Structure 1
Amino acid sequence: MFRIWRRWRTWQKVMFSCCFIMLIGSCIAAIIIGMTLKNAADSMYEALPERKESLRSTIEPLETSPVNPIHNRQSNNSTSVPVIKPLTKDAQPDVSNSEPFTMLLMGVDERAHDSGRSDTLIMASVNPKQGSAVIVHIPRDTRTELAGLKKLDKINHAYAYGGTAMTVATVEQLFEIPIHYYIKTNMEGFKAVIDELGGIEVHNQIPFETDGHQFALGDIKLSGEQSLAYVRMRKQDPKGDFGRMDRQSLVLRALAQRAASTDGVVRLGAIIDVLKQHTRTNLAFEDWISLAAKHVSSVNQIEKTTLTGSSQRIAGIYYWKVSKQERLRIHNLLSNNLVPNLDK
């Protein structure tokens, strides 16, 4: 090797040295980025406690066969009241092997001197091998029994009473579908990420004013604080909470597009710092890698729906009343997408 080096001309040595230094630099950068992401994933990780048969409730059962946490296989032990099997670490799907899974996305509004409420609830059923996903928006005022309390209340109050664990268990109970993963972020984190990205742009469909901010009709640019006011408003929206959910989806799409841009990549370190502080999930680092490397680009069939019902006032309090038939519709949508495609 030394003899070859001596025979090279000066420009060849310079070129080789530059390429070698760039290669070493790239390897070091990759290691640093990997360690940073691993540290971030570890900081955000928060396991869910094992759910027990406390999911047995007094709300009307859907009269479906109990759902196995993986692959939607029917249980051999049928009961008059469906009980979701306890989820343990061993029962989790293997996302690295593209097994289907469910996820609950939670946007928590935590304010001073308030334990907070999960005002944004989105349930997703993902089947990577089929390239399909079902996304269900759950209205915050949905009236259901809070898991473990045997109390009928708004579903977003589950977080106030029992945090992430009770919220997850309550949604599992409502649809009789196990939830494998969750991602929770509070509104301060939502606001901070948008500010780190330099704001987002959305197409606003109704002009309104709220919390000292004016939102004109058409294309508008939003800061983090403006985005927060934009997604919180619902009383001035003709569609009420459903209009608010539409605006949430609009902002989330704009945020995802902005994060995937060059500016998002440049600000990756600052964004990670925000997520470490304001986001919690039971996705481990290896799960994040599998999701990013295999599943994000493979899912191209997405079915979106909203839990429908009717408005109802009880003792002067507004609720969203959901029928057994609607719960069964959502159950079937989610569970059918968990059936593995054995041909793939």
Structure 2
Amino acid sequence: MPLQQTRVDVFEDIFLVFLGLGTLVGVVVISYVLYNAYKYRDDGEAKDDESLPTLGELPTGGKGGKKLFLSFGISAVIVISLVIWTYGMLLYVEDPQDEFDEEPVEIEVTGESFAWHFEYANGVEASSTMRIPADKPVAIQTTSGDVWHTFGIPDLRVKADAIPGEYDETWFMADEAGAEHEIKCFELCGESHTAMVGNVQVMEEEAFNEWLNGQLTLDVEIVDQNEEPVTEGYEMTLEHTQNDQYEEDLVHTYTAEDFDENGTISLDHEDLQQGGEYNVTITFEDDQYETVEETIEIDGPSSETFTVGSADEADNGNGTNESDDGGDGE
């Protein structure tokens, strides 16, 4: 079946089918009971029927056996059909990967210290608020950083265990942009269990992509020990610490000409492409300043200021390299 239903739709369909069949069976059974109660009521008149057993005589049968066989047969067909149909629907809920018409949004969910943390496939991280696009499948992997938790979104019929060292996979889809859904923990995990909540913010796909790309930004400033901008004669290289694990080459090199006159440069998702740890190396052509080597984390809008010391001072043991991180992973 094509992926057109959300988890909510599937469970509502199952509920409505069982409700409808249960109601139909109930009406038929009660009607048949009432019909027979009326037909065979005791009206005080003796029935002239040779097939009626006398006192102490066992009944020899009649047409009732056919009715019993027919009723059992119909019941078996209904029950077996319901079991097969329901099982197929639940398989669809549990693992619809082959049914996705498009690549799902992948999010890793971690429960820890009475809060929920989210990491998107491009390395962007957020806490408390999970942002997702409307009408697009979202595949999540849940785990825990401390004790057992259970991630749940009641409105969207989502529930997944969050266990240390393990990953529980599930999916969901929200179809109403602008809606918000509460996240809860369904595992008694400690004294602040009831406060372990969050929310899902459903966005238009274009707005979601704009937000997600906007999280991968980095502002870099290079200054000397007098906090004056350094504007010429250097090269900066950014290399992802896990570069060999990605198809694209996450090594970026910028020269002083790429920086503005204030010794700053602003990089966006087209430059970075993937969040995570980057090794930063700044080298100087004339050896006026000592080489800078730092490791920075980019999981949201970030800013870094590198304060460079002169090579002469470094030789005397007085050189300093400083990095100030103003990153925000939310």
- Give the alignment's TM-score, normalised by structure 2: 0.22
Structure (1 or 2) with the greater strand fraction: 2
**Rg (Cα) greater in structure:** 2
Query: Taking structure 1 as the reference length, what is the TM-score of the superposition?
Result: 0.21
With CA pairs under 8 Å and 6+ residues apart, which has the higher RCO, 1 or 2? 1
